[in-house]
A and B are shown apart, each in its own frame.
Chain A
Amino acid sequence: MLADVAFDIPAGEILGIIGPNGAGKTTLLEVLAGILPADASDVQWLGRPLPPSRRRETMFYLPDGVRPYQDQPVSRVLSFFAGAYRRSVDETTGTIEAVGLTPVLHKRVHSLSKGYGRRLMLALGLLTPHPLLLMDEPFDGFDLRQTREIVGVLRKEVTKGRTLALAIHQLLDAERVCDRFILLADGHVRGVGTLKDLRARTGLTNANLEDIFLALT
């Protein structure tokens, strides 16, 4: 259960929603995206209220652990998203190459490895035109080299004007990619800010995110 969670996301930022398993990261993202009903919630976009029914006009949520359309080849799933969002062939090809899906385009989704499954989800997210992209555990299934590669892809996406909110339970990954952090534990916000802000708040001048999280929770 989430309670008293309030934060803002500046444009062009990568926000990390950090917390252990069960902290409420996924619930928070799903409530934000409007696919989980909340007892009370208020989301504002550019200062205007954004009801759940209109959230999909501004944000797209990539859930964790989803393998969509498992009987279809990867190329067909990508074609569906590209067609729905009127993406050109060049844009689609660029996305496929950026996330490294080319070798498995002809494979069925159910036969993909965990890493390629994650790349497919990332590609689907990148094909959407929403200003805000919400991603649940985007680095789950990647090794260090692959994580760095995907961090580069996400950074590039931010330079195009997109804003990203990533729910991550691996603190090292989060520290590597995020500009700002929301530390969640037991459904409550324990801290919000950049690494520098959080260090100042905890008084741990050279601490990493792990130390700060332990200090605040």
Chain B
Amino acid sequence: MRSPETFHLQNAPLLPLLVKELWEILSGRALWTMLLLMCPLVGYSFFQAVSLYGEASAAGLQSPVLANSLSPLDGILVPTLGASYVAVTLLFPFVAIRVLGLEKESGALRLLVQMPYHPSTLIAAKLVAVVAAWVLSSIPAFSALAMWRLFGGHLSAPETLNLLFGHLLYGSLVGAIALFAASVSESAATAAIVTLAFTIGSWVLDFTVAGHPGLLEWVASLSLTQVLRTFEQGLLSLRLVAGIGAAMCGFAALATVWLPPGIDVRNKLVRSIVCVLAAAIVFGLATQIRLSIDVTEDQRNSFPVADQHALASLVRPLVVTVHLAPEDPRYVDLQRNVLAKLERVLPNMSVGLAGGRQSVATNAGDDRYGEVEYNYGGRSDISRSTSPREILPVLYGLAGASRPAPAPGGDYPGYPLIVRAEVALLWFFGGLPLCIALVWWRSRRLPINYRKPTKEAQP
């Protein structure tokens, strides 16, 4: 008789598993249907973005001052990929659930879990297939970017890659949630409801609690839609990347725990708690990472270079106390124009709201409302401005440093472009869907004159 150690898990080749997962996701109608739906969705967004950009460019071509506000990141990339985001939120869960849900429903999972792969390997392979599906589903968005270049439009590689990376992370996170949902649910329909509860629930969070102070603000920050905002601003935040990575690994680990059918529910619950705690710890550690990179061509998230260097030398703690309500537009301006930039460059800075959960209404009679107090090295000063032009001299004054001379050159030129984009509509409403339908039909064709299995998955 053969010994029990006939083979070991680590000896199993991964390639057949990956090939199987990719074929499974390619064979389903969900991916191709989503692709076909995305063509007009992304295409029309792109067409509108190009048209609006062209209208704005008409004024920009007359004035260099107006031209330098014309950034393809804001004008073309964000709205075009925004349409892709909507489709990923609403449709991608159905594609991702398929990689596990069908196996559960058909009973094939009972074969798969007996095969020489660890459950974590099975989930990892499925996640790879989900990422591949995201790449395929982004074909309309990729073709929009290519068309923009063909029109003569400008694309900054760091901005574009950063934003695409953000969308990849978002798609992967939705995929990981879908795998977890498919793992805990008995049917694909239930899994879809669970996943949509996360994705559409994020929208609800945004609409209902965003802009509120305190706990509600923290809850709103957990929304999945927050994932993309930093990337859309042109920032590559390691805190965000690590946080999303922790969340993805957490959901993948939970999917792994709930995958094997031979473990009782109590055991799975205990393991799930361990996974959630581990993910929460990693998530908490990730929030401590402050490093972020401004990848925008116009460096909109940074002060001028000379100021960046000068501010980086301020090593003592800077404490900023803001006498504004979080929903006050002045606070939003201050945050965007000054505080966010300071947090990126100053190693030791803290910001606090005076009065905690104050609001505009309750502070109407407060004389100090609107003040921002800066405390550095035991000295303090107060300003009501939200502009770095006025605040930076205050900080230099507190630090006893002189304001550096601005470095010459390096101004962002802006990229005005007037172009008629009707041809894009033809492509997205006709050419691209036709190409996708042809590839779909081609992928559905069965092998002819088959006599023996292909060697594609053979060692």
Q: Does A156 interact with chain B (Cβ within 8 Å)?
A: no
A60 partner, pick from B24, B114, B447, B458, beta carbons under 8 A: B114
**Interface residue A144 (Cβ < 8 Å from any Cβ of B):** no
Judged by a CB distance under 8 angstroms, whether B281 is at the interface is: no
Interface residue from B11, B16, B27, B456 paired with A72 (Cβ < 8 Å): B27
How many angstroms between the C-alpha atoms of A89 and B23 in the bound complex?
20
> Whole-angstrom distance between the alpha carbons of A151 and B267 in the complex?
41
Given contacts A66-B111, A73-B447, A130-B6, contact A89 B16 (CB under 8 A): no
Q: Is the CB of A35 within 8 A of B113?
A: yes
What residues on B are CB-neighbors of A33 within 8 Å? 114, 262
Query: A58 to B455, alpha carbons, bound, how many Å?
Result: 26
Q: How many residues of A contact B (CB 8 A)?
A: 57
Q: How far, in angstroms, from A85 to B1 measured CA to CA in the complex? A: 19
B379 CB within 8 Å of chain A: no
- Cβ distance A203 to chain B, nearest Cβ, rounded Å: 34
Most buried by A among B6, B15, B262, B454: B262
- Check A105 against B6 for contact (C-beta < 8 Å): no
Are B23 and A35 in contact (CB-based, < 8 A)?
A: no
A70 at the interface (CB under 8 A from B): yes
Which residues of the other chain, A, contact B117 by a CB distance below 8 angstroms?
Answer: 84
Please give me the residue from chain B that is nearest to A52 by CB atom: B262
Q: Which of B16, B103, B449 has most chain A Cβ within 10 Å?
A: B16
Flag whether A164 is at the interface (Cβ < 8 A): no
* A93 close to B (CB within 8 Å): yes
Chain B nearest Cβ from A23, distance in angstroms:
20
A96 CB within 8 Å of chain B: yes
Q: Does B442 contact A (CB under 8 A)?
A: no
Contacting residues of chain B (433-459) with chain A, CB-CB under 8 angstroms: 446-459
Q: Do A70 and B106 touch across chains, with their CB atoms under 8 A apart?
A: yes
- Contacting residues, chain B, for A62 (C-beta < 8 A): 111
- The answer to whether B116 touches A85, judged by C-beta atoms less than 8 angstroms apart, is yes
Contact indicator B107/A58 (Cβ below 8 Å)? no
> In the bound complex, do residue A105 and residue B457 qualify as a contact, i.e. CB atoms below 8 Å apart?
no
Interface residues in A176-216 by Cβ distance below 8 A to B read: none
Contacting pair A35 B114 (CB below 8 A): yes
Q: Is A100 an interface residue (CB 8 A)?
A: no
The interface residues of chain B lying within 8 Å CB-to-CB of A96 are: 452-453
B28 within 8 A of A: yes
Whether the Cβ atoms of B5 and A57 lie closer than 8 Å is yes
For the complex, give the distance between the alpha carbons of A141 and B15 in Å. 34
Instruction: Give A82 to B456 CA distance when docked, in angstroms.
Output: 11
* Closest Cβ neighbor of B448 among chain A residues: A106
Which of B1, B8, B114, B446 has the largest number of chain A CB atoms within 10 A?
B114
Whether the pair B457, A12 counts as a contact (CB closer than 8 A) is no
CA distance A54 to B7 in the complex (A): 11
**Once the chains bind, are A71 and B27 in contact (CB under 8 Å)?**
yes
- Residue in contact with A83 in the complex, picked from B3, B15, B111, CB distance below 8 Å: B15
Indicate if the CB atoms of B453 and A66 lie closer than 8 Å: no
Out of B1, B5, B6, B13, which one reaches A84, CB within 8 Å?
B13
- Are B1 and A92 in contact, with the CB atoms below 8 A? no
> Pick the contact of A86 from B5, B13, B448 — CB < 8 Å?
B13
Instruction: Report the minimum CB–CB distance from A90 to chain B (whole Å).
Output: 9
Contact with B along A60-87 (1 / 0, CB 8 A): 1111011111111101101111111111
A35 in complex: contacting residue of B15, B28, B110, CB < 8 Å: B110
- Is B108 an interface residue, CB under 8 A from the partner? yes
A61 touches which one: B13, B114, B454 (CB < 8 A)? B114
The reply to whether B6 and A58 contact each other, CB–CB distance below 8 Å, is yes
Say whether B34 faces chain A, with CB atoms less than 8 Å apart.
no
* Minimum C-beta distance from B94 to chain A (A): 15
Q: How far is the CA of A46 from the CA of B4 in the complex (A)?
A: 8
The one of B2, B114, B261 in contact with A56, judged by C-beta atoms closer than 8 angstroms, is: B114
- A161: Cβ under 8 A from any B Cβ: yes
A55 to chain B minimum Cβ distance, whole angstroms, is 8
Query: How far in angstroms is the closest Cβ of chain A from B101?
Result: 13
A92 lies within 8 A of B453 (CB): yes
User: In the complex, which of the residues A72, A84, A131 contacts B115, with contact meaning CB atoms closer than 8 Å?
Assistant: A84
A11 at interface by CB-CB < 8 Å? yes
Is the CB of A107 closer than 8 A to any CB of chain B?
A: yes
CB neighbours of A46 from chain B (8 A): 1, 3-4
Min CB distance B199 to A, Å, is 26
Q: Does B17 contact A (CB under 8 A)?
A: yes
B453 lies within 8 A of A50 (CB): no
Q: Are B6 and A89 in contact (CB under 8 A)?
A: no
- Distance (whole angstroms) from the CB of A150 to the closest CB of chain B: 19
Interface membership of A37, Cβ < 8 A: yes
Contacts of A86 in B (CB 8 A): 11, 13, 459
Q: Does A146 contact B (CB under 8 A)?
A: no
Specify which chain A residues have a CB less than 8 angstroms from the CB of B7 in the assembled complex.
57, 85, 129
28 pairs from A and B in contact (CB 8 Å cutoff): A34-B262, A35-B110, A37-B264, A37-B267, A45-B4, A54-B4, A57-B4, A57-B6, A57-B7, A58-B6, A63-B110, A65-B107, A66-B106, A70-B102, A71-B28, A72-B23, A73-B446, A75-B454, A79-B456, A80-B20, A84-B17, A85-B7, A89-B458, A93-B452, A106-B447, A106-B449, A131-B2, A131-B6
Nearest 5 A-B pairs (CB), nearest first?
A83-B16, A83-B457, A68-B108, A11-B1, A66-B107
Known: A54-B4, A92-B458. 6 other contacts (CB 8 A): A35-B113, A35-B262, A36-B262, A67-B108, A73-B447, A124-B111
